[in-house]
Amino acid sequence: MNVQERIAWLRSELHRHNHNYYVLNAPEITDREFDELMYELQRLEKEHPEFHDENSPTMRVGSDLNKNFVQVAHRYPMLSLGNTYSEAEVTEFYNRVKGLLNEDFDICCELKYDGTSISLTYEEGRLMRAVTRGDGEKGDDVTDNVKTIRSIPLVLHGDYPRVFEIRGEILMPWESFERLNREREAREEPLFANPRNAASGTLKSQNSSVVASRKLDAYLYYLLGEELPCDGHYENLQAASSWGLKVSEHARKVHSLQEVFDYISYWDTERKNLPVATDGIVLKVNSLRQQKNLGYTAKSPRWAIAYKFQAEQALTRLNKVTYQVGRTGVVTPVANLDPVQLSGTVVRRASLHNADIIQSLDLHVGDMVYVEKGGEIIPKITGVDTSARSMLMGEKVSFITRCPECGSKLIRYEGEAAHYCPNETACPPQIKGKIEHFISRKAMNIDGLGPETVDMFFQAGLIKDTADLYRLQAIDIRGLERMGDKSAINIVHGIAESRQIPFERVLYALGIRFVGETVAKKLAKAFFDIDNLMATDVDALVAVDEIGEKIAQSIVTYFNNPANVALVNRLKAAGLQFTLSEEKQGGYSNKLEGMSIVISGVFTRHSRDEYKELIEKHGGKNVGSISSKTSFVLAGANMGPAKLEKARKLGIRIMDEEEFLTLIS
């Protein structure tokens, strides 16, 4: 065979072996034989770039090139499911469906996998796009990252529809999760709280080679399209499985309420033996025709519901309590425990939240404590087995009075449960936390920087505050662990680009307590530049819409600190934007004053973010959901059907782009 035929054969074989190994768990060849085929394909593709294919098996390894995510509108909205927690609520759901349909129906029972939602679009049997759930109406295009997940086929086989969408969960198996956290702990990096967060954070990585290294998995559970093979949801899943898609083998079609309860009872125990996290059961009316007849409420389908398992509990020994300091100075107590198996993973630590929780539990070192996972994931102590105490019980746990990192005396604000370290300019965790906030996506959005690199630069003595970032040069960075010339240049370039970030986001990036994105916009609009803001007082701040005394006092306190003023002056000298642009200073009005406005759909004249800015610029308020208090909905094409239905039901006006632009002109 010629080179092109050999490349095609290798791709076909590698796709088949990928499916056998990662989906069917039935490999036909050894890892070494697989690697030899892959190396040959990589060599041939490199020698013959004219035969490049986006869906080649070689795409599985990912790339270290940064790539910003593009937002894509969902063709079908991705709604959330209503939750139930008892058999009585399941019975209520079943009887409600029975009453609405007035005919026989089947239920498809599925495990509720605890990962991050994904929508995959296939055309002509090839993966074309992978999009996150986002806000349900639009999400991030993460196709390059998803292509690195071995259990998601790039090319299908069999008799599949020309175009279809399939949804599912991206998961990090327990084994991969624990390995990742062991590696991060060895590097003294922050640990992921749970597999769901780890999977979500990994999927949104700007570096697809990182995604490839973390061995994510996927289960697919819902097929959409105009040419589906069957009216039955369960039957469609079996068809999807025959095309090479990974569908859970544990889904069951049942015909009665008792069979639903039998399924729930079985998996309430058996789920602990699964390699991935689950937190419940999903029940769906099986017939697509019946699903369509049942329709949707404002937030969720009437034909499906999620049953959430009760949190699993374990008894173990409390060895000691340590304390962690967060970005804002909040000090959180952490219980260090004898290792105990809980919901598929080994738990060694649990949050105690604050001093009041410790006091209410009457904790002593050595106590036998009950631990459970809120939502099956985050460990917490819920009680103490006082009967297990002996005469030799340990010291009573009392909340510390000084910061464990810098030794400063802790303070507690009136009306708050948390204790704070006030040394915000010299306490290491607070310094690093402020830098991490400063570089984050909604603040300065500096490409190439993340918590790991911030910690590395801090430990190397390259940065002690946010202003130090603007003194970094590529020569300072190259040579550090995992930092080559290209990475160093990209980081320095990303820092330089951030000088163009507008004033309102720079203000948010400073990390002033209680000053979020919306408050930062209000302040920028009211004071125009940083000098005016630094010179103002509490009374002038409170006069600004939505600024209360608590926020105002925090702003004044921040700028009364000479160290903060010095930092702002250094950032100004570095070239950051500390004045509201002339374009934004002009054109304000009160035409939308007092109005609460919901945005939905896809627009042509402006982006959604630009419309949000226009609403705020003219005195209106952006809100996320429709209620009786909504003034009107600014609607583009493909407005979410749930929002449309609710707006009509409440008699809320729906306004298109042209009407809106005329209103504010």
| Residues classed as catalytic | 112
Q: Which of 653, 644, 506, 659 is nearest to 574 (CA)?
A: 506
3-class secondary-structure state, position 296: strand
CA of 606: how far to CAs of 55, 107, 471, 660, in Å?
34, 44, 37, 11
Distance CA 400, CA 394 (A): 17
- Token representation of residue 618: 């003219």
Name the H helices within 418-529.
428-439, 451-459, 474-477, 485-497, 503-509, 517-527
How would you classify the pairing of strands 116-123 and 252-254? unpaired
3-class secondary-structure state, position 215: coil
Distance CA 103, CA 554 (A): 61
CA 441 to chain centre: 13
Helix crossing, 257-270 with 87-101: angle to 10°? 150
C-alpha distance across the termini of the chain, in Å: 67
The per-residue b/e assignment along 201-213, b for 16 or more CB within 10 angstroms, e otherwise, is ebbebbbbeebbb
User: Using H for helix, E for strand and C for coil, what is the string for 189-255?
Assistant: CCCCCCHHHHHHHHHCCCCHHHHHHCCCEEEEEEEECCCCCCCEHHHHHHHHHHCCCCECCCCEEEC
**DSSP bridge partners of 346:** 341
Q: 61: buried, middle or exposed (CB in 10 Å: 19+, 13-18, 0-12)?
A: middle
Distance CA 331, CA 359 (A): 16
- Token representation of residue 478: 């190259």
Q: Which of 118, 134, 281, 111 is nearest to 199 (CA)?
A: 118
Torsion over CA of 147, 151, 155 and 158, rounded to 10 degrees? Answer: -160
Q: Phi and psi dihedrals of 385, rounded to 5?
A: -85, 85
Residue 37 gets which letter from DSSP? Answer: H
With contact defined as beta carbons under 8 Å apart, do 74 and 139 qualify? Answer: yes
Cα angle, residue 277 at apex, residues 276 and 280 outer, rounded to 5°:
130
